Amino acid sequence: MKKVSSIFKDLFGNIFGNFSKDIGIDLGTANTLVYVKGKGIVINEPSVVAINNKTGQVLAIGKEAKKMVGKTPGHIVAIRPLIDGVVSDFEITEQMLKYFIDKVHRDSFTLFPRPRVVIGVPSDVTEVEKRAVIDATINAGARAAYLIDEPMAAAIGARLPVQDAAGNMIVDIGGGTTDIAVISLGGVVTSRNLRIAGDEMNEDIIRYCRDEFNLLIGEKTAEDAKIAIGSACPQKEKLQMPVRGRDLVTGLPKEIVINDEQVREALSRSIRIIVNNVKSTIEETPPELLADIMQRGIILAGGGSLIRGLDRLVADQTDMPVRMMEDPLTAVVRGTGIVLEDIEALKDILTENQHDRSYT
């Protein structure tokens, strides 16, 4: 009976596979990126969903929902269904995944897309959190869901030889989490996962403006300042930009000019914690692997690694070469795409997988 069931499973799997596009997803706290096998990255949208609380209706997902953040009436909320890289709202995450899966198949005339999906998750997620991601993906329409640790995916995206008996060190600074990992022989030898990353840096700037200038600014304004003039160490060129918000004393609108030195001071706490954890991870790494890393260098990935001078600061603090990978924002999703292209050969590096049993 089991043999017959297996035959039907393979048969239906092949039928669905012929009409569906296998996809890789970087399910990030800030942004979701989607890679389609044979095409490359086709979607890069914010992980935001706008909901009407009165009716429970989803009004917008992705870019359109991001435009609504901080600008909605009381009964409409724009929320992030993932916090610190893990699912905080199962149903909304499921709807967001279904939206992206359907969007990928919109032009292929597939009535019921059933793709295989590889998803990047933070390295320290619990079994319960893994199950939530898998169930949400299966319920959203996938016929099979595979999970891969984000630092492993980023390392694969950087074309590092992760399956060799050699040390590779990656620091992936995303929106909600920072993953630091030493990888060898297709597995993580030592790692650290921090709930300090891009979002926390935005909060640092918000706190700094409130404490130093009595100015309340929004998250988007803080993020704009971080991207425009944020740095980890002094720069040759002095930068500044206007910042607008509400004066906490008068309650009226107010504009100030903030410079790169002030933003650097605001970011210093979060950056110091990240750098100290990189050093701690190095201290826990076996010496033979350290010798490899000293030769290959530490690889920075993720949007947070784009902070000016961060690579130089990490190099100074660790006495090791540091380089930023090409296009660090797409590191994880490119890694999931490489796994998709040869999933059988790379299945040993996946943390977990689940097939939909609805047709088995």
Q: Could you report the per-residue pLDDT of 128-171, keeping only the tens digit for each?
A: 888 888 988 898 888 889 999 889 999 999 988 888 889 999 99
Hunting for tokens 């000019």 — which residue is that?
Answer: 257
- pLDDT recorded at residue 107: 62
DSSP H helices in the chain: 2-19, 63-66, 90-104, 127-139, 150-157, 198-213, 219-229, 260-283, 287-296, 310-318, 331-341
- pLDDT recorded at residue 108: 58
Topology of domain 2-153+332-359, CATH: Nucleotidyltransferase; domain 5 (3.30.420)
- Mean pLDDT calculated for residue range 103-115: 70
Q: In the structure encoding, which two tokens stand for residue 60, read together? A: 């917008």
Spatial distance between the Cα atoms of 36 and 77, rounded to a whole number of angstroms: 30
Q: Is the pLDDT of residue 350 over 90?
A: no
Beta-bridge partner residues of 116: 144
> pTM for the whole thing?
0.84
Tens of pLDDT along 163-178? 888 999 999 999 888 9
Ranges in the chain annotated CATH 3.30.420.40? 2-153+332-359, 162-325
- Residue 307: exposed, middle, or buried by beta-carbon count in 10 A (0-12, 13-18, 19+)? buried
- Mean pLDDT calculated for residue range 205-209: 97
Q: Is the pLDDT of residue 105 over 90?
A: no
Task: Tell me if the domain spanning 162-325 has CATH number 3.30.420.40.
Answer: yes
The type of residue at 120 is G
- pLDDT recorded at residue 357: 42
pLDDT > 70: percent of the chain: 90
Spatial distance between the Cα atoms of 36 and 23, rounded to a whole number of angstroms: 5
